[in-house]
């Protein structure tokens, strides 16, 4: 029982560290937070996914997706990392869409034509 409680505390600390990065001022911080959150956040943990979405914001996810497609810019070396940005954005968007209220939001629905490209 103590092991489970300790693992849950570690999970919460990891998530808090990721959320701090996701709220960062620089794109590099947000990218690092997204990469880490894919390792720590469970797909069935809707409350954590909601916190991630609120922290990173729809505008950044939109820019990340557009940069991955070659249509936008992230404030780092975007051209050399386009495939990685596209893969990360699709992975994160797919995970976030497991939360019904995020999946049905206007922000997510507006991304459908971009993803279909």
Task: State pLDDT tens for residues 25-48.
Answer: 999 999 999 988 888 788 889 999
Q: Assess contact for 90 and 112: CB atoms under 8 A.
A: no
pLDDT value at residue 38 = 83
Q: Write down the pTM of the prediction.
A: 0.81
- Chain CA centroid to CA 4, Å: 26
At 15, is the secondary structure helix, strand, or coil? helix
Residue 81 is given by DSSP the state G
Containing structural domain, residue 80: 1-116
Q: What is the 3-state secondary structure (H, E, C) of 30-41?
A: HHHHHHHHHHHC
The structural domain count of the chain equals 1
Chain mean pLDDT for the chain: 85
């Amino acid at each position: 029982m103590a092991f489970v409680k300790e693992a849950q505390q570690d999970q919460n600390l990891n998530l808090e560290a990721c959320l701090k990065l996701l709220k960062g001022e620089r794109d590099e911080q947000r990218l690092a937070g997204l990469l880490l959150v894919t390792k720590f956040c469970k797909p069935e943990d809707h409350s954590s996914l909601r916190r991630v979405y609120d922290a990173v914001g729809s505008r950044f996810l939109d820019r990340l997706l557009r940069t991955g497609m070659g249509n936008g810019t992230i404030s780092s070396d975007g051209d050399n990392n386009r495939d990685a940005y596209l893969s990360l954005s699709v992975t994160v968007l797919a995970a976030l869409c497991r939360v019904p209220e995020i999946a049905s939001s206007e922000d997510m629905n507006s991304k459908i034509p971009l993803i279909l490209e």
